[in-house]
Amino acid sequence: MLSQLDSLKTEALAALDTLSDEAALEAFRIDYLGKKGKLTALSAGMRDVPPDLKKEVGAKLNEVREAISGGLSTRQEALQAAKDAASVVGIDLSLPGRPGAGVGTLHPLTQIRDLAVRTLRRMGFTLADGPEIETEWHCFDALNTPADHPARNESDTFYLPDGRLLRTHTSSVQIRTMETVKALPVRVIAPGAAYRRDEIDATHLSVFNQIEALYVDKDVSLADLKGTLEFFFREVFGPKTVVRFRPHFFPFTEPSFEIDVKLEAKGKEARWIEIAGCGMVDPAVFAEVSKKRGDNLFDPEQVTGFAFGMGLDRLAMILHGISDIRHLIENDVRFLQQF
Ligand code: PHE
């Protein structure tokens, strides 16, 4: 048996050198190492080897198996290397590249998010974060939104079987932040995804992007809110931008406003465009947060705050005159190349 194994090894290694493609190598593998292969057949002979020789024959068997499978991988690698080398024949890898060819830019949404974040950071806001899968409490209850509010409807919100939901706005990060901070002031921004069960059309997607801001301290006023937003929109749309605050309602702010900016599309008359929601944090929100925290850092008698939120997709669309929100997710280079 020992000599049989030796000659099988010699035969196999010689055969390997003549093989020149993957199919032949695979046939070789089956022929020698496969379940019905030559080596397997020989190793069945172990049964008849006398006990005092078993150790020696076993070692030989392993040696031959390793030699054949090692030879096979070496051959596979050599063939692959030859293939790689053939594929670059005639290509001079030392030539300099063509400047500018294929260099991309940031997605318009990324650009607007970065601009928004950069602008607000200059005013002392820091980044905050929260989960996209939220509890009803963080998304609605703590934000003073009653159980029968239409936004909480199954038809408007994606609920998970366990009762959690995909957050419908980034305002839940207001709560997440106030739940955990250790001291005032709180001055945070939170860009992120929000989800609504909207019919998808030119202005709606079921996943979109918002940026939220929250500022809480002992003496935050509506003037601070106005100043912050006017500065913000002038940075985004230009120094002459006019901003208007229109009374509105949100459950978690009082008073609440919608913000319009006056913009002129090229060649058209200027018009007011609704762009964000904002307001002074409703004391009921501070009360709910205080109940959860069990301390008085957010005592509604002591602190005031403002919050605002806006759609980043919408901001990008207005800024660039994009007529259909779906362009932002289709990744068509003819669209993306323009930014
Ligand atoms: N969360 C509100 C929305 O999605 C926007 C908002 C944020 C309003 C903060 C007031 C304060 O429409």
State if residue 144 touches ligand 1 by the CB under 6 angstroms criterion. Answer: no
According to the annotation, is 254 in a ligand binding site? yes
- Whole-number Å distance, alpha carbon 231 to ligand 1 midpoint, is 19
Each residue's pLDDT tens digit, 85-133: 888 888 888 888 887 777 788 999 999 999 999 999 999 999 999 999 9
- The more confidently predicted of residues 20 and 125 is 125
| Secondary structure E strands in the chain | 126-127, 133-134, 165-166, 186-195, 207-217, 242-250, 253-263, 271-281, 304-311
Q: Is residue 282 very low, low, confident or very high in pLDDT (cuts 50, 70, 90)? A: very high
pLDDT of residue 230: 96
**What is the arithmetic mean of pLDDT over 329-335?**
93
pLDDT of residue 43: 85
State if residue 250 touches ligand 1 by the CB under 6 angstroms criterion. Answer: yes
- Whole-number Å distance, alpha carbon 139 to ligand 1 midpoint, is 11
Residue written as tokens 């190492």?
A: 33
**What is the arithmetic mean of pLDDT over 287-293?**
98
**Residue 68 pLDDT > 90:** yes
Distance CA 277, CA 245 (A): 9
pLDDT of residue 126: 98
Partners of 278 in beta bridges: 257, 308
**What is the arithmetic mean of pLDDT over 317-331?**
94
Q: C-alpha dihedral over 122, 128, 134, 135, to 10 degrees?
A: -110
Ligand 1 atom closest to 277 (CA): 8
Residues 6+ apart with CB under 8 A from 11: none
Ligand 1 atom closest to 276 (CA): 5
Residue 201: C-alpha distances to residues 168, 205, 281, 321 (Å) = 18, 7, 32, 17
- Determine the residue type at 92: D
Q: Which two tokens stand for residue 189?
A: 């921004």
Q: Other C-beta atoms within 10 Å of 289: how many?
A: 21
Ligand 1 atom closest to 213 (CA): 9
Distance CA 242, CA 264 (A): 11
- Whole-number Å distance, alpha carbon 119 to ligand 1 midpoint, is 19
Domains for the chain: give ranges and CATH numbers: 2-87 (no CATH), 108-336 (3.30.930.10)
In this structure, the residue with its CA closest to atom 4 of ligand 1 is 169
Each residue's pLDDT tens digit, 22-64: 898 999 999 999 989 898 888 888 888 888 888 888 898 999 9
Helices (H) and strands (E) in the chain, counts: 12, 9
- Whole-number Å distance, alpha carbon 310 to ligand 1 midpoint, is 7
State if residue 171 touches ligand 1 by the CB under 6 angstroms criterion. Answer: yes
Each residue's pLDDT tens digit, 136-183: 999 999 999 999 999 999 999 999 999 999 999 999 999 999 999 999
Residues 6+ apart with CB under 8 A from 104: 336
**What is the arithmetic mean of pLDDT over 248-268?**
92
* Closest C-alpha among 55, 51, 33 to residue 42: 33
- Whole-number Å distance, alpha carbon 216 to ligand 1 midpoint, is 16
Instruction: Name the 3-class secondary structure at 298.
Output: coil
For ligand 1, pick from 250, 274, 314 the residue to mutate: most ligand atoms within 8 Å of CB.
Answer: 250
State if residue 208 touches ligand 1 by the CB under 6 angstroms criterion. Answer: no
Ligand 1 atom closest to 309 (CA): 7
Distance CA 198, CA 205 (A): 7
Residues 6+ apart with CB under 8 A from 336: 104, 105, 107, 108
* Closest C-alpha among 143, 145, 140, 130 to residue 163: 140
- Determine the residue type at 14: A
Partners of 215 in beta bridges: 187, 306
pLDDT of residue 104: 83
Distance of CA 239 to the CA centre of its chain: 33
Q: Is residue 267 very low, low, confident or very high in pLDDT (cuts 50, 70, 90)? A: confident
State if residue 174 touches ligand 1 by the CB under 6 angstroms criterion. Answer: no
Q: Which two tokens stand for residue 172?
A: 């839940």
**What is the arithmetic mean of pLDDT over 247-274?**
92
pLDDT of residue 53: 87
Instruction: Name the 3-class secondary structure at 179.
Output: helix
User: Please, what sign has the CA dihedral across residues 18, 22, 26, 27?
Assistant: negative
Whether pTM > 0.75 for this model: the answer is no
Percentage of the chain lying above the pLDDT 70 cut: 99
Partners of 210 in beta bridges: 192, 311
State if residue 172 touches ligand 1 by the CB under 6 angstroms criterion. Answer: no
pLDDT of residue 21: 87
pLDDT of residue 66: 93
Q: In this structure, are residues 328 and 305 in contact, taking their beta carbons and an 8 Å threshold?
A: no
- Whole-number Å distance, alpha carbon 212 to ligand 1 midpoint, is 8
State if residue 279 touches ligand 1 by the CB under 6 angstroms criterion. Answer: yes
Alpha helices (H) along 294-326: 312-320
